[in-house]
Structure 1
Amino acid sequence: MASGRRANRRRGEVEALIDGQCRILCLTLGALAELETAFAAGDLAGLAARFSSGGLKAADMIRIIGAGLRGAGNLISDDDVAAACFDEGVAGCARTVGELLSATFAPADGAPTANP
């Protein structure tokens, strides 16, 4: 990573090796709003339910990765994400999506869940 900054998991950031560069991704409120629109989710709960149902398509992963990259300040289009090479290929991309969604929607260590 050019800046030398590391991802801060407490802020919902994750790192991924994309096109040979370590990039930070974060689903900010703006990025989540972008995904709500892209997935026609009525609200954050609907978006979380959509992601937790499994069965994400490649196009879904592109949107999530793209929104996460843009949320962390990277200027990149979904077309650029689609053409990018991920460390460990598709498995690495899927792992990054999982880590990003977990960092965004999973409760922090030791924090109580909203609906026990």
Structure 2
Amino acid sequence: MANPWAGEVAIWLDGRRHVGKLTLGALAELEATLSEGSLIGMAERFESRRFSARDVLAILVAGLRGGGWQGTAEDLRTVEVGGGPMGAARAAAELLARAFALPEE
């Protein structure tokens, strides 16, 4: 079970549950791949719903890798993400929110 208090998010890939978490290392990996230039800018894009499929993919890969998954972005291109594109976007938004939220929020 994913622990939201620890910043974890459940992500379903091909019917298998994985735990995603944006650890400091995962955040650094994500920042290196962003066209936005900053994680705060990325969070703001999600809040205003101006994100792209590429943004969602990058966040999912970073979060899954932070949770121990050994895959790559290429691996995600061929799997079914639980909830489809909207489920993927929701999981990415939750990863960002939980990475930057205090447990009381």
Into which bin does the TM-score normalised by the smaller protein fall? Answer: 0.7 to 0.9
2:23 is aligned to 28
- Cα distance, 1:43 vs structure 2: 5.2
Instruction: Tell me the C-alpha RMSD between the 2 structures.
Output: 1.9
2:90 is aligned to 95
Indicate the structure (1 or 2) with the bigger Cα radius of gyration.
Answer: 1
1:15 is aligned to 10
Is 1:59 the equivalent of 2:85? no
TM-score normalised by L of structure 2: 0.85
In 2, distance between residues paired with 1:44 and 1:100? 12
In 1, distance between residues paired with 2:89 and 2:43? 16
**SS in structure 2 opposite 1:16?**
strand
Percentage of matched positions with identical amino acids: 41
In 1, distance between residues paired with 2:22 and 2:50? 20
1:51-85: per-residue Cα shift (whole Å, max 9, x none)?
A: 44531111111111001010111101001112220
**Count of residue pairs brought into register by the alignment:** 105
Question: Hey, which bits of structure 1, 4+ residues long, moved more than 6 A?
Answer: none
Find 2:102's aligned residue among 95, 101, 107. Answer: 107
- Cα distance, 1:14 vs structure 2: 0.7
Q: What are structure 2's unaligned runs of at least 5 residues?
A: none
User: Bigger relative contact order, structure 1 or 2, given CA contacts below 8 A and separation 6+?
Assistant: 2
